[in-house]
Structure 1
Amino acid sequence: MHPIKVDEIKSVKGIMEIEIPQLEQTSSDETNSVKKMETEIHQVEENSEADSLEGKEITAKRGTKPPLNFLAILKDANITIHASSPDELCNQLYKGVFIEPKLLMYYVEKMLNKNCFIVFARKLHITWIENSSYWKWTKEEDICEEYSEDIEVAELLGVCWLEIKGEIRTIDLSPGTVYEVVFVVKMLHEDRCRKWNYPVTLNLILPHSKKETRYENLAEKPRGKWFEIQVGEFKMTPENVGEISFQLEEFSSDWKCGLVLKCAVIRPKN
Structure 2
Amino acid sequence: MEEEKSTIEALPEGCIAKILSHTTPVDSCRLSLVSNSFCSAAESDIVWDRFLPSDLISIVSDSQSASSLFTTSPSKKSLYLTLSDHPILINNGKTSFQLEKQSGKKVYMLGARDLSIAWGDTPCYWDWIILPESRFQEVARLRTVCWFEISGTINKRVLSSDSQYVAFLVFKMINAYRFEDLPTKLTVGVLGDQVGLSTKNVWLNPYYDDRERNDEFQGLERPKVRSDGFLEIEMGEFFNSGLEDEVVEMRVLENGGQHKGGFILEGIEIRPKK
Q: TM-score, normalised by structure 1?
A: 0.69
Separation in structure 1 between the aligned mates of residue 103 and residue 271 of structure 2, nearest angstrom: 10
How far the C-alpha of 1:188 sits from its partner, in A, is: 1.6
Contact persistence 2:143–2:262 (CA under 8 A):
yes
Highest Rg: 1 or 2? 2
Q: Which residue of 2 aligns with 1:120?
A: 111
Separation in structure 1 between the aligned mates of residue 94 and residue 119 of structure 2, nearest angstrom: 19
Q: Which residue of 2 aligns with 1:59?
A: 45
Distance 1:62 1:82, change over 3 A: closer
Q: Which residue of 2 aligns with 1:93?
A: 83
How far the C-alpha of 1:69 sits from its partner, in A, is: 3.0
Distance 1:56 1:75, change over 3 A: farther
Q: How does 1:10-89 map to 2 (within 5 A)?
A: 49=22, 58-59=44-45, 61=47, 65-77=51-63, 79-80=66-67, 81-82=69-70, 85-89=75-79
Q: Which runs of 5+ in 2 are unaligned?
A: 1-20, 24-40, 209-222
Distance 1:49 1:254, change over 3 A: same
Distance 1:257 1:69, change over 3 A: same
Contact persistence 2:63–2:93 (CA under 8 A):
no
Q: Which residue of 2 aligns with 1:267?
A: 271
Letter paired with 1:202: L
Q: Deviations over 1:166-191 (max 9, x none)?
A: 1111112111111100011111235x
Q: How does 1:68-217 map to 2 (within 5 A)?
A: 68-77=54-63, 79-80=66-67, 81-82=69-70, 85-94=75-84, 95-144=86-135, 151-189=137-175, 193-207=177-191, 209=193, 210-217=196-203
Distance 1:163 1:262, change over 3 A: same
Letter paired with 1:137: W
Q: Deviations over 1:57-78 (max 9, x none)?
A: 9436459831333234234555
Look up the SS of the partner of 1:258 in the other structure. strand
Look up the SS of the partner of 1:71 in the other structure. helix
Q: Which residue of 2 aligns with 1:229?
A: 233
Q: Deviations over 1:101-131 (max 9, x none)?
A: 3311111111111111011111111010111
Q: Which moved more, 1:205-214 or 1:101-110?
A: 205-214
Separation in structure 2 between the aligned mates of residue 101 and residue 91 of structure 1, nearest angstrom: 23
Q: Which runs of 5+ in 1 are unaligned?
A: 1-47, 145-149
Look up the SS of the partner of 1:167 in the other structure. strand
1:254 and 2:258 correspond: yes
Aligned length: 212
Distance 1:89 1:257, change over 3 A: same
Q: Report the structure, 1 or 2, having the larger helix content.
A: 1
Look up the SS of the partner of 1:67 in the other structure. coil
The alignment yields a C-alpha RMSD, in angstroms, of: 3.0
Contact persistence 2:63–2:92 (CA under 8 A):
no
Letter paired with 2:75: S
Distance 1:86 1:251, change over 3 A: same
Distance 1:142 1:153, change over 3 A: same
Look up the SS of the partner of 1:91 in the other structure. helix
Contact persistence 2:48–2:80 (CA under 8 A):
no
Distance 1:195 1:103, change over 3 A: closer
